[in-house]
Amino acid sequence: MYPTDRPRRLRTTPALRRLVSETEVRPRNLVLPVFVAEGLESPKPIASMPGVVQHTRETLRKTAAEAAAAGLGGIMLFGVPAHHDATGTGAVDPDGILNVGLREVREEVGDALPVMADTCLDEFTDHGHCGVLAPDGTVDNDATLEVYADMAVAQADAGAHVVAPSGMMDGQVGRIRSALDAAGHVDTAILAYSAKYASAFYGPFREAVDSQLTGDRRTYQQDPANAREALRETTLDLAEGADMVMVKPAMAYLDVLRSVAEISDVPVAAYQVSGEYAMISAAAERGWIDRDRTILETVTGIRRAGADIVLTYWATELATWLDR
C-alpha cells in the first residue's frame, strides 16, 4: 500500500512551487504609509516602530520618489502638525503640513504614483479624537462630517488622487463624495476605512502622530468582537459611493477581510498597522523569527484573505524582494 495522492509532487522544486502558487504579492498591491511632521530639520525616528520616521518635507519627497521607482500601488500621507486645537483647523488649512506634503509629493511623482491622504482629524485636534466635540464631550458626528468635507476638498486641491476617511463617522463617505463633486473633484477617489476596529494594535501609531488622545475611541470605532457589523458598515459605504473599502487592522481580522471581499464590488484594502509592524520587528530583533520571511508571509496572508491592496510600512523594502 502506498499513497495514491501525492500533493508533495508539486512542492519538489522552487520552480514548481512558483508555478502553482495561488496568491501573488506584487509591488502594485502595496501602499506605503508615511508621516510628515511640521518644523523638523531632519527625520525623527519613531522608537516603537524601528526603521520608520517622521519625515521632513525634503525626505518625504525622496521617499515618494523611491516608492514610485519601486512600482508601488500608492503612498498614504499622515500629517503631524506643530500645533493642535479643538477643531483641528490645521487639517483644512492649505498651508497645513498635510496639505503642503500632499502638494509637494504630487509635484514630485505626478501621476506615476497614486497619492493618498488620510482624511481624519485625530492628528490635528488637541483632544486627539477623530472629530469635533459636542458640549457634553462626545464626538459630534454630523458636525464632524462638515469638517471632513472641507478637509477632503483641501486635500484634493493639494493634489491627492485618493482621500481616505478613517474616522468611522456615520455618513462620511456620502458627505465627502458630495463635497468633492461640488468642488469639481469628480475624479478624486474615496478609499473608505469601512471596518476600522477599536484596536490595541494602534499603540505605536499614536507615538508616530504625536496623538493628544486620552481615553479611547470605542464610541465610533468598531468592537473587535463584531463581524456582521463590518459587513453593514461596508455595505453603507458602498451605497454612499466608496471607490475602495478597507479593513483595519489586518492580521487579527482576516476573517472580516474575507467576508468583506466576498460582498464588495470594488477593490478591498487592508492595513497592516503599527502594532503589527512593531511586534514583528521586536521579535526579529531578538532573533526569535526570520524577519524577511515573516514580513512576506504576513503580507501574503493578507492578500490570500482577500485584500487587493495592502498598506504596510515595509512596502518599498518588500517591493525590492519580490522578484528575488
Q: According to the model, what pLDDT value does residue 318 have?
A: 97
pLDDT higher than threshold 80 for residue 60: yes
Q: Flag the least confident range among 80-84, 206-210, 263-267, 287-291.
A: 206-210
The predicted pLDDT at position 169 comes to 92
pTM equals 0.95
Q: Which of 103, 127, 161, 196 is catalytic?
A: 196
Sign of CA dihedral 150, 153, 159, 163: positive
**Has residue 155 got a pLDDT over 80?**
yes
pLDDT of residue 263: 98
> Average pLDDT over the chain, rounded to whole?
94
Contacts of 267 (CB under 8 A, 6+ apart): 243, 244, 245, 308, 309
- Of the residues 248, 275, 281, 299, only one is catalytic, namely 248
What are the boundaries of each domain within the chain?
A: 27-320
pLDDT band of residue 142 (cuts 50, 70, 90) is very high
Residue 133's contacts (CB-CB under 8 Å, 6 or more residues apart) are: 86, 127, 139, 140
So what's the pLDDT on residue 234?
98
What number of residues does the chain have?
324
Residue 130 pLDDT: 84
| Residue 90, pLDDT above cutoff 80 | yes
Our answer to whether residue 62 is catalytic in this structure is no
User: Is residue 246 scored above 90 in pLDDT?
Assistant: yes
* pLDDT at residue number 79: 95
**Could you tell me the end-to-end alpha-carbon distance of the chain, in angstroms, rounded to an integer?**
41
Output the pLDDT for position 205: 72
Query: Catalytic residue at 196?
Result: yes
Question: Would you say residue 323 has pLDDT above 80?
Answer: no
% of the chain residues with pLDDT over 70: 99
169 vs 136: CA distance, rounded Å: 18
* Residue 8 annotated in ligand binding: no
Q: What is the mean pLDDT of residues 83-93?
A: 93
- Whether a cis peptide bond, with omega within 30° of 0, leads into 249 is yes
Check the annotation: does 148 bind a ligand: no
The arithmetic mean of pLDDT across residues 135-162, rounded, is 96
Check whether 206 is labelled as a binding-site residue: yes
pLDDT tens sequence across 168-222:
999 999 999 999 999 999 999 999 999 999 998 888 877 777 677 677 788 888 9
Please tell me whether 217 is known to bind a ligand. Answer: yes
Which single residue is written with the C-alpha cell 463590518?
230
In 3D, which of 270, 271, 289 has the Cα closest to residue 279? 289
Percent of the chain predicted with pLDDT > 90: 88
CATH number listed for the domain at residues 27-320:
3.20.20.70
Beta bridge partners of 76: 33, 116
Whether 211 has a binding-site annotation, put simply, is: no
